[in-house]
Structure 1
Amino acid sequence: MPDSGDVQAVKASNPGDSQVRVYAVAPRENADPDEIVDGFLEAMTSDDPGFATARKYLTKEAARVWKPEESIAVLTDAPNRDQADRMADPESKGRTFSLSGRRIATVDASHAYQPQAPAEFNQSIHVVQQLSPDGKSKEWRIDSLPKGLVLGEADFLRNYRSVNKYYFASGENWVVADPVYIRQRQDPVTRMDPVTQTVKALLEGPTGWLDSAVDSRFPTGTQLREGVTTLATDDQSTLKVPLNAKADHVSALACKGMAAQLLFTLGDLTSVRVEQVEVQGSDGKSLCMLGKAQAREEYSPVRNPGRGENPYFVDEHGKLMMLSVDGRQPDKPAEVPGPFGKGLVPLTYVAVDREESHAAGILQQGRELRVGSITADEELPAPIVTSSALRPDDRLSAPSWDGRGDLWVADRNPVRPRVWMVPGGQGERIEVSTPWLKDGARIESLRVSADGVRIALLVTKDHRTTLQIGRVVRGSSEGRTTVSVDDLRNAAPRLESVTAVSWAGPSRLVVVGTEAGGVQQVRYVQTDGSTSATSVLPGLNGVTSVAAPHSEASPVVADSGNDGIVRLVPGANWQPVVKEGGAPVYPG
């Protein structure tokens, strides 16, 4: 404790504790304008059903039109409330209070989180005097206020949690994660528990950004049966989901897909264990049932989802090697069969397909992309993609495989930068449409998600490297396949610069970057750009690349420069694995 110096008021900035609950307090009799505004701001952070207590601070008309479920403005801290400007509205004899802060995100009516670089938030609350219920006196109430909720980040994370809804990739039979935020406990507006909120959000359809790339097996208009606010599993861990009449006449195949969407979605909720889903029609009769194991086997974007994943790296001689990092002590790296393991042509970068049968290597100082077997000694085929850039750093990026078996790479040639996709890793290459790749923008690296619907890009523009998430759109024109990457959005706007990125599951990334004026950090980021207080990994200096598994069963590995390749096992700190070598990757 300090024993000298001045006393200063500071705002608490500790992370939101999901176990802490705030109970709203109604305005006291004859409360002054300051108390009314402060009481309302506090009541917005509560779980009060219908926000009934918060509405007591509002005039009757303001309470009627205020819709807290429509949007949330997320600030770095609780909003600052300035003193009232008494001269702002002398005619109404009201008071105007300014609210200010730094906005870092918004959440829309579809529960989608939209991050932004910290920006000034300036709104106001206006209070007036109105007759009290007994008609004998006047009391202060709010008659004008911001739309939706205004919460500091700590209160937001205390009240809301991120969950993944799942939809099917357009025209395909595997699922894609769509992250949204729901209430940690009962929703004040719908009175639904978290399980029911999650199912309701799934039935409402995908968020706007992902909508054009995915499909839902639920017929349009499908909702939970009227009056359902609680869903609970039975003693067999089976969840029965009663739907309205829109689902009554679905086919057995479509119903199975609906059940799969429910199982994948509910699998992200740690508060409930669902082993099987029973979809029910409007009359309560069972439409179909599906178990979790079957859903994973048939609809997971990762083939053989139960199989372990092995990390690979390029040793000091340019040879492809496989690591074994799951044990208490890492085993000695094993040489990989095939042309890349022999080191006949030194590798610069490498990517291993998700079947772990082939690898794509960048050779000749970035000039060539070749694909070869890593299970048999075969002759290395001719290059699939070449770059004519003069500088090695302007040539081909590290490649990436999606779960469909398609191969991606960026040619960083400043004369003509572009992205290539090679179907199956051996078909005729397709130039990907990237209309945003202009005006000096440059792709440093790319990583495609397992579902093939999203792509993580490190893009440098105006001397700043940012993490962008793009939506992959596939189509056809005149009998030819077309591919484009559309609607880029910054997934880590609070990072001043990003060095490396890797997918770490259906909707999570491991990112290496620095905040303005800060030191390098390794952290988890959701594809919607949201983070939590527990997302920062133990400190590690000089990281140039990072690789994470699709599941959490294997450790994160990274190239830490002078320390070589290191691993991070849950509950431990970074541990050295290999002193010489770099470019670690998991399949993908």
Structure 2
Amino acid sequence: MKLWRRGILVVIAALAASVLAACATIPRDGAVTRGGAVSAQDNPFGQVDYLPLGPGDGESKQQILNGFIQAAVSPEAGYQIARQFLSSSFRSQWNPDASVTVDRAAQRTVDDGGSSTQLKLEITPQAFIDQTGDYRAADSQAPVPLNYSFVKEHGQWRISQAPPGIVIDSDQFQNVFSPHPLYFYSPDYSFLVPDLRWFPSSRTTIATRIAKALLAGPSPWLQDAVVTAFPKGAQLASGSVVVAGGTAQVALNSVAAAADAPTLNRMGEQLTESLGTSASSVDLTIGGVGQDVSGATSAVQNPAVAANPLVLRSGKFGFLSGKSVVPLGGVADQLESLHPTAATVTADGGAAAALADGSVYAASDALSHPVRVDDRHGLVAPSIDSHRIVWSATTDASAPFAVSAGDGATATLKAAWPDARQLLSFAVSRDGTRLAALIGTTDGQSHLMVAGIVRDATGHPTRLGEPVDLGGLGLSSGISLTWSDELTVAVLGVSPQGGTAIVTQQLGGLLSDTTSGPAGAAVIAAGNPSSQLWVLTSNGSLETPAGNGWQTVSTGVQVLATQQGRG
């Protein structure tokens, strides 16, 4: 995970360098568009500082507005350059951290409406980021008007009123902002759970932004599905985090002074993993007293799966190795007896969920034979979580999920998927805190949606949190999905151009990639490393990416099973 974050920062630095080579001035005439001139300063973490120009003499209202929007991409010194475009009375009132609106600069329009002191900027939003760095795709492409007022100070136009937050072009956004996963815990502290946020890539402010967001807690959709080691009311005592020599100096108020050693170690772990490449270690003080946070915890980050695909072939269930199937052991005999069409197995191979003869079964080394847990019409491939809970659902998106511990007792959980028409596929995350669903929506598209899983003290699911729609995937129809790592879901579907396609989507991030899939693709599963994907076709051919195409690994495969992660 750390390597991935470091790679993102290197790409950002490279993009900034290319901008510097191509542009020398910031245009202020014409429509409000993306500016070009930035400056980068070398630093140990590869982050980039953007230094736009301040207002020039005699500039028009539209030039001032253009310059203000361009300058607002730089958070240095509290957005000092952007504030130069504001009137003296409004300068301290403007709140740039309230939100970020990502749009396309080419679609912006400006109109004065006949007023000598007003401008209306109309934008088409693509995404929004709130004050905690939470990214959300826009629900609508309808234009949004933003109103700006102007006054003259010392003969120069300045903005006297503006909406809170900043507006940034989608192309520039990925150069100026970078993704940072904040880490919380599963309720039993077994897993570290990422919550992706976006912050300006500023070396002077990034550590502070990360720490403040971490202390503020998880995103609303994860609120009751994860926990944090920091007590309510814990805040930065000094207002900022200073990074010196690779060590982040984090000073908290005295709210957490009563924390025991395990809790302190978890605080240190959350800070260290969340700060990522911004700091290699943490020096924590609480109420002015230094704390030892060097103790190890047992939490697993980004649980992995086995490198080989897990399959049913020629009646044998196990890992495919070369031309042979290595028996799984555990529940393999029970699965083989079911002749399933879909299966999901826990990391230890001791429990599984299977779809066979139109019903969902729970298999376990604690059972003498598989137990039928759901026989509703239209069942899709089931899932199983880290607590050995079997999850099942039908294609009816309005119907509840059934959850069973395999003992015959089954509970139901309702999921209010927005604008849902059909449930196409779903899977529980490897840490058991989130459920991803591929939903056919009423507008005819396939959307990826996620919801937090709320559990009781025994680990049994009690409800699903409010779902979040991550947006359309650009597919004519969805087929299957799988978790490829702690933050990414890979979706198999039908391409609008014909054939199949695979789309990878970060939770809380951008559509990462879209590639062509093999002909007749029916099921997708992830391997190890997370970039390794396996696809089973309708004729039993198991395929894996090879260069720009797909290579047949095996034929005669009846089931490609999903593996849950292990530590």
TM-score when scaled to structure 1? 0.78
Q: Provide the C-alpha distance between the structure 2 equivalents of 1:516 and 1:439, rounded to a whole number of angstroms.
A: 21
Amino acid at match of 2:535: A
1:530-576: per-residue Cα shift (whole Å, max 9, x none)? 216xx215432443322124x6367222225569322247x886433
- Kindly state the Cα deviation for residue 577 of structure 1 after the two structures are TM-superposed: 1.4
For residue 83 of structure 1, report the CA deviation from its aligned partner.
4.7
2:12 is aligned to: none
Partner Cα distance (2:150, 2:470) in 1: 42
Name the CA distance, whole Å, in 1 between partners of 2:416 and 2:256.
41
Relative distance call for 1:68 and 1:355 in structure 2 (3 A) is same
**Paired position in structure 2 for 1:286:** 291
1:235-262 CA distance string (max 9 Å, x none): xxx7654333223332112212212322
One-letter amino acid matched to 1:257: R
Q: Are 1:85 and 2:85 matched, yes or no?
A: no
State the alpha-carbon separation in 2 of the partners of residues 438 and 343 from structure 1. 38
Q: 1:539 to 1:413 in 2, by over 3 A?
A: closer
The one of 548, 555, 563 equivalent to 1:579 is 555
Cα distance per residue 1:217-274 (max 9 Å; x no partner): 112222334164322456xxx76543332233321122122123223324xx345545
Q: Does the C-alpha gap of structure 1 residues 98 and 200 become closer, same or farther in structure 2, counting only changes over 3 Å?
A: closer
**2-side partners of 1:170 and 1:204: how far apart?**
17
Equivalent residues of 2:76, 2:202 under 8 A apart: no
Query: Shift of residue 347 of structure 1?
Result: 1.7
- Equivalent pair of 2:518/2:543 in contact (CA under 8 Å): no
Taking only aligned residues, the RMSD between alpha carbons, in angstroms, comes to 3.8
Q: Give the number of the structure whose alpha-carbon radius of gyration is greater.
A: 1
Give the 5 Å matches for 1:153-552. Answer: 153-170=170-187, 172-186=189-203, 191-192=204-205, 194-226=206-238, 228-232=240-244, 241-266=250-275, 269-270=276-277, 272-274=279-281, 277-290=282-295, 294-295=296-297, 298-300=298-300, 308-315=306-313, 317=314, 319-324=316-321, 332-337=324-329, 340=333, 343-364=336-357, 366-372=358-364, 381-389=369-377, 394=378, 396-412=379-395, 417-423=399-405, 426-434=406-414, 436=416, 441-462=421-442, 463-475=444-456, 483-496=462-475, 497-513=477-493, 520-528=500-508, 530-531=509-510, 535-536=512-513, 538-542=515-519, 543-549=521-527, 552=529
Q: 1:359 to 1:164 in 2, by over 3 A?
A: same
**Is 1:131–2:108 an aligned residue pair?**
no
1:35 aligns with 2:35: no
| Range that drifts further, 447-456 or 306-315 | 306-315
* Secondary structure in structure 2 of the residue aligned to 1:222: coil
The residue aligned with 1:65 is 93
Paired residue secondary structure (1:544) = strand
Instruction: Give the number of equivalent residue pairs.
Output: 523
SS of residue matched to 2:184? strand
Q: Which residue of 1 aligns with 2:130?
A: 108
Distance in 1, matches of 2:226 and 2:420, equals 32
Say if 2:162 is the partner of 1:145: yes
Could you tell which deviates more after superposition, 63-72 or 123-132?
A: 123-132
Unaligned runs of 5+ in 2: 1-30, 41-45
Distance 1:358 1:215, change over 3 A: closer
Using the aligned pairs only, state the percent identity: 21
Query: Paired residue for 1:46, among 74, 89, 95?
Result: 74
Report the Cα offset of residue 343 of structure 1: 4.5
494-503 or 54-63, which deviates more: 494-503
Query: In 1, are the aligned partners of 2:123 and 2:145 still within 8 Å (CA)?
Result: yes
Provide the rounded CA distance (Å) in 2 between the counterparts of 1:411 and 1:380: 27
**Separation in 2, partners of 1:13, 1:541:** 42
- Closer, same or farther: CA 21–435 of 1 in aligned 2, 3 Å: closer
Between the aligned partners of 1:348 and 1:439, the Cα distance in structure 2 is 29
- The answer for the alignment partner of 1:98 in structure 2 is 121
Q: After TM superposition, give the deviation of residue 286 of structure 1 in Å.
A: 2.8
Q: Please give the TM-score of this superposition, normalised by the length of structure 2.
A: 0.80
